[in-house]
Amino acid sequence: MPQMNMVQAINDALRLEMRKNDKVVVLGEDVGKVGGVFRVTAGLYDEFGDDRVIDTPLSEGGIIGTAIGMALYGLVPVPEIQFSDFIFPAYDQIVSELAKFRYRSGGEFVSKLVIRTPVGGGIRGGHYHSQSPESQFIHVAGLKVVCPSNPYDAKGLLLASIRDPDPVLFFEPKRIYRAAKGDVPEGDYTVPLGKAQVIKPGKHVTIIAWGAMLYEALDAASQAMEKGIDAEVIDLRTLWPLDIDTIIESVKKTGRVVVVHEAPKSCGFGSEIVALINEKAFLHLEAPPVRVTGFDTPFPYTLEMEYLPLAHRILPAVVQTAQY
Amino acid sequence: MSATPSPKAAPGVKEFAHDNGKNGHHAVSPLVTYEPIRVMREDGSVDPARDPGLTDARMVELYCTMVRTRIIDERLVTLQRQGRIGFHIGSLGEEATIIGSAAAARKQDWIFPCYREFGALLLRGMPLQTYVDNMFGNGNDTVKGRQMPDHYSGRAYNFGSVSSPIGTQITQAVGFAWAAKMKKDDLVTLVYFGEGATSSNEFHNGANFAGVFKTPTVFLCRNNGWAISVPASKQSASQTFADKAIAYGIRGVRVDGNDLLAVYSATREAIERGSRGEGATLLELLTYRLSGHSTSDDPKAYRKDAEVDQWKSKDPNVRFRTWLERRGLWNDKKQTELEEQAAADLQECVKVAEKAPPPPLESMFEDVFQEMPWHLREQRDELLKGPRAKGHGH
């Protein structure tokens, strides 16, 4: 089985689906000849031509607005937004249009597309190349939100996202684009949307994470093990719709939970996860649920490693929660 | 419709109140047709070079749609004032821009609406009852009571879905046409918006993408003088809205928007250009919003009666009627019958719509996603088990 990194796995998924389905088109800034600033679409332009791998003018609103029109026509566009920090010019199209088409037209129209966009910090990108805006899209009724943590899931989740009937925001954790490597089957397979995965079983405390922070959670879990704390680590994979069953099952077992994400703490997705745990497993809790997250500041440049919820910040939270 | 003033002398460029003219000069570009296209002359003849050659029956059909549209507009305002519907946004005075352009579209062409184009939808065959059900948001409403009145959709009529944000439909219309072009399908998109929308991001994005990718799109800019309370002169310092085409490398054409045959002719020409692979056209349709923006505002607060009166004398319906009368295709008797029939039809539809039950409670949770996820099932069950709001018929 070939070894791939995240970039190669996503590229493989796009190529596979474009060969299979001639309705799939890729569009965005620099996605064509140069293959994207992260090279995720490398080689697609040469294979599929400029009608299906389209270098667009520099306008995220234009990219998503025209992609919605293409989708209404029956194509399956997979637009790329170069950094999720730059998605906001398209926010109106995503929030007011893409997410609402099926609902507002009584099911007459479906605007189906998958927006791929790199997310997260730790690459010395400063405020405008590092943010994690996932909760701003989860809060909008009508969108599915996915964030893979490894090449196998990246390929399988992207194929599932393209074939899913609803619009999907596909966040690609750029810090591990090349660092995360693993076996990726050749050919077709999917990883179902809406299913989390228990990466490391444990019995004392549940750590919930996704994307690049999964590795920090695993690091913290292995350090906790040295202190005799056996943490269970869950990779959400799909953020919305949330796999609540996997979370509740784990929390009922451990009674203790730490949620980790890069985005700012207040109204971050962790707030929703903790609220759901309180609603559904309150009597099983042995300790207050804890969030280890980015801070409620803009994303800083020089101090980014202090901002991010890395293992050194997760570990004390895990220990304190386990010992509460 | 009782008074039938004869059409005024065909106005020149200067006569159009929404000419900006701030800079005191007219830049001239070969991409733009500045002199508004006009087909119906004041002497009752047509410009033979631009006569679209419609059959008598078709012209009468279009006129009847204009009149029906106006009567529906007037009655819906009354219903809103009576508190029987929540809102209406109409096309009073702009009928020719809507009916003329929609009539020029070929069957396979798609319309991307703004929110004043119910006349186009009726022309394309949507039953009046379907439209009225939308006005009431009842259980028969095809959009299931999820949107405010006048936010319909009409897939069966190659007609898009209305939303309220300004300009979002423009890029979508461009993307749709672009996809058709990729698939080598002979299809043009017509997208409606007001001159206020030329200030939006999406006008720029749409026109720019249309120019770069040469999409078969007709931009129908209804310059009706006002965006709620803001006059056209405050939207842009461009001398005309058609001028905006120059920057995007597309064609710009000014059209007398109260001349149904001119709108038809210019739209048809733009469709043919698009169909031939010559790209997009921006039509500036010069017209006037005789009513308020919607039932939610009173235009007396921001504009003078004299201005409105001046445009009332250029009423597009009256103008077309006069033309039909001169050709012996119309008379007072037919007018009275049409008005009575249109009012009666509407009344009947209103009666049915008012009796229809509201959409079922659980429909609130459907169509968010194709399949309802657990969190929506939970919330639906919670609503169904809980107490009902008062006064909504449940």
Q: Does A141 touch chain B (CB under 8 A)?
A: yes
Rg, Å, chain B Cα set: 21
Q: Is residue A2 classed exposed, middle or buried when 0-12, 13-18 and 19+ CB atoms within 10 A define those classes?
A: exposed
Determine, for residues A65 and B163 on separate chains, whether the beta-carbon distance falls below 8 Å.
no
B258-276 burial code (b ≥16 CB/10 A, e <16): bbbbbbbbbbbbbbebbee
Determine, for residues B160 and A72 on separate chains, whether the beta-carbon distance falls below 8 Å.
yes
Please report where in the chains the tokens 């007219």 appear, as a residue: B26
* Omega before residue A241 within 30° of 0, cis: yes
Angle between helical axes of B95-104 and B316-326 (0-180°, round to 10): 60
pLDDT tens-place string over residues B157-177: 999 999 999 999 999 999 999
Work out how many domains chain B is built from and give that number.
1
Q: How confident is the model at residue B2 (pLDDT cuts 50, 70, 90)?
A: very low
Let me know the angle formed at the C-alpha of A247 by A241 and A251, rounded to the nearest 5 degrees: 155
For residue A137, give the nearest of A168, A104, A116 by alpha carbon. Answer: A168
For residue A7, give the nearest of A48, A37, A50 by alpha carbon. Answer: A37
Report yes or no: B175 and B208 within 8 Å, Cβ to Cβ.
Answer: no
For residue B117, give the nearest of B193, B174, B60 by alpha carbon. Answer: B193
**Taken in order A218, A219, A222, A223, is the CA torsion positive or negative?**
negative
For residue B74, give the nearest of B290, B341, B338 by alpha carbon. Answer: B290
What is the distance between the alpha carbons of residues B380 and B373, in angstroms, rounded to a whole number? Answer: 11
What is the distance between the alpha carbons of residues B100 and B271, in angstroms, rounded to a whole number? Answer: 13
pLDDT, position A58: 98
Q: Which of residues 142-181 of A touch B (CB under 8 A)?
A: 142, 144, 165-166
Rg, Å, chain A Cα set: 19
In a domain, B365, yes or no: no
Determine, for residues B172 and A100 on separate chains, whether the beta-carbon distance falls below 8 Å.
no
Chain A residues within 8 A of B142 when measuring between CB atoms: 105-106, 108
Question: Domains in chain A, ordered, with CATH?
Answer: 3-183 (3.40.50.970), 197-323 (3.40.50.920)
Chain B residues within 8 A of A168 when measuring between CB atoms: none
Chain B residues within 8 A of A64 when measuring between CB atoms: 171
Q: Is the pLDDT of residue B8 over 50?
A: no
Q: Which of residues 259-298 of A touch B (CB under 8 A)?
A: none
Terminal-to-terminal C-alpha distance of chain B: 41
Torsion angle (degrees, nearest 10) of CA A43, A44, A48, A53? -130
For residue B93, give the nearest of B116, B122, B64, B109 by alpha carbon. Answer: B116
Q: Is the pLDDT of residue B12 over 60?
A: no
Q: Is the pLDDT of residue B235 over 50?
A: yes
Q: How confident is the model at residue B5 (pLDDT cuts 50, 70, 90)?
A: very low
In a domain, B387, yes or no: no
Mutate to test the interface with A, among B109, B172, B182, B208 (most CBs of A within 10 A): B172
CATH number at residue B177: 3.40.50.970
pLDDT, position B27: 64
Q: How far is B107 from chain A (nearest CA, A)?
A: 16
In a domain, B281, yes or no: yes
Region B214-225 average pLDDT: 97
Q: Is the pLDDT of residue B18 over 90?
A: no
Option in A62, A70, A89 nearest B176 (CB): A70
In a domain, B167, yes or no: yes
Q: Is the pLDDT of residue B10 over 90?
A: no
In a domain, B144, yes or no: yes
Q: Does A66 touch chain B (CB under 8 A)?
A: yes
Tell me, what's the ipTM? 0.96
Q: Is the pLDDT of residue B55 over 50?
A: yes
Phi, psi for B122 (deg, rounded to 5) = -65, -40
In a domain, B6, yes or no: no
Chain B residue closest to A245 (CA)?
B374
For residue B265, give the nearest of B47, B7, B73, B41 by alpha carbon. Answer: B47
Q: How far is A243 from chain B (nearest CA, A)?
A: 9
Chain A residues within 8 A of B180 when measuring between CB atoms: 73
For residue B111, give the nearest of B189, B195, B203, B181 by alpha carbon. Answer: B189
Chain A residue closest to B215 (CA)?
A66
The DSSP H or E segment spanning A318 is helix A311-323
**Which residues have C-beta within 8 Å of that of residue B122, sequence separation ≥ 6?**
B65, B68, B69, B128, B131
Number of A to B CB contacts under 8 A, please give it. Answer: 142
Determine, for residues A66 and B375 on separate chains, whether the beta-carbon distance falls below 8 Å.
no
Active site residues of B: 289, 293, 302
Determine, for residues B161 and A109 on separate chains, whether the beta-carbon distance falls below 8 Å.
yes
For residue A6, give the nearest of A214, A212, A176, A239 by alpha carbon. Answer: A176
Report yes or no: A166 and A18 within 8 Å, Cβ to Cβ.
Answer: no
Residue B259 token pair: 């001349």
DSSP state of B178: H
Average per-residue pLDDT for chain B: 92
In a domain, B394, yes or no: no
Domain of residue B44 covers: 13-359
Region B292-316 average pLDDT: 93
pLDDT, position A118: 98
DSSP state of B357: P
Catalytic residue of the set A127, A129, A204, A284: A129
Residue ranges of chain A whose pLDDT lies below 50: none
Chain B residues within 8 A of A67 when measuring between CB atoms: 175
Beta strands at A181-183 and A205-209: parallel, antiparallel or unpaired: unpaired
Chain B residues within 8 A of A141 when measuring between CB atoms: 368
Chain A residues within 8 A of B114 when measuring between CB atoms: none
A258: three-class secondary structure by DSSP: strand
What is the distance between the alpha carbons of residues B354 and B320, in angstroms, rounded to a whole number? Answer: 34
pLDDT, position B1: 35
Determine, for residues B168 and A141 on separate chains, whether the beta-carbon distance falls below 8 Å.
no
Determine, for residues A69 and B172 on separate chains, whether the beta-carbon distance falls below 8 Å.
yes
Chain A residues within 8 A of B368 when measuring between CB atoms: 102-103, 141-142
In a domain, B386, yes or no: no
For residue A233, give the nearest of A262, A203, A263 by alpha carbon. Answer: A203
Lowest mean pLDDT among A100-104, B5-9, B354-358: B5-9
Chain B residue closest to A74 (CA)?
B179
Q: Is the pLDDT of residue B7 over 50?
A: no
Angle between helical axes of A6-20 and A151-163 (0-180°, round to 10): 30
Q: Is the pLDDT of residue B6 over 50?
A: no
Determine, for residues A242 and B368 on separate chains, whether the beta-carbon distance falls below 8 Å.
no
For residue A273, give the nearest of A308, A313, A241, A233 by alpha carbon. Answer: A241
pLDDT tens-place string over residues B117-160: 999 999 999 999 999 999 999 999 999 999 999 999 999 999 99
pLDDT, position B3: 37
Report yes or no: A157 and A14 within 8 Å, Cβ to Cβ.
Answer: no
**Taken in order A209, A215, A216, A221, is the CA torsion positive or negative?**
positive
Q: How confident is the model at residue B16 (pLDDT cuts 50, 70, 90)?
A: low
Determine, for residues B174 and A105 on separate chains, whether the beta-carbon distance falls below 8 Å.
no
Residue B292 token pair: 């308020």
pLDDT, position B26: 60
| Percent with pLDDT over 90 in chain B | 89
**Taken in order B199, B202, B205, B207, is the CA torsion positive or negative?**
negative
Residue B282 token pair: 């921006």
Terminal-to-terminal C-alpha distance of chain A: 45
Mutate to test the interface with A, among B111, B178, B183, B362 (most CBs of A within 10 A): B178
Determine, for residues A73 and B176 on separate chains, whether the beta-carbon distance falls below 8 Å.
yes
Determine, for residues A104 and B163 on separate chains, whether the beta-carbon distance falls below 8 Å.
yes
B341-368 burial code (b ≥16 CB/10 A, e <16): ebeebbeebbeebeebebbeeeebbbbb
Determine, for residues A75 and B179 on separate chains, whether the beta-carbon distance falls below 8 Å.
yes
Q: List B111's β-bridge partners, or say none.
A: B159, B190
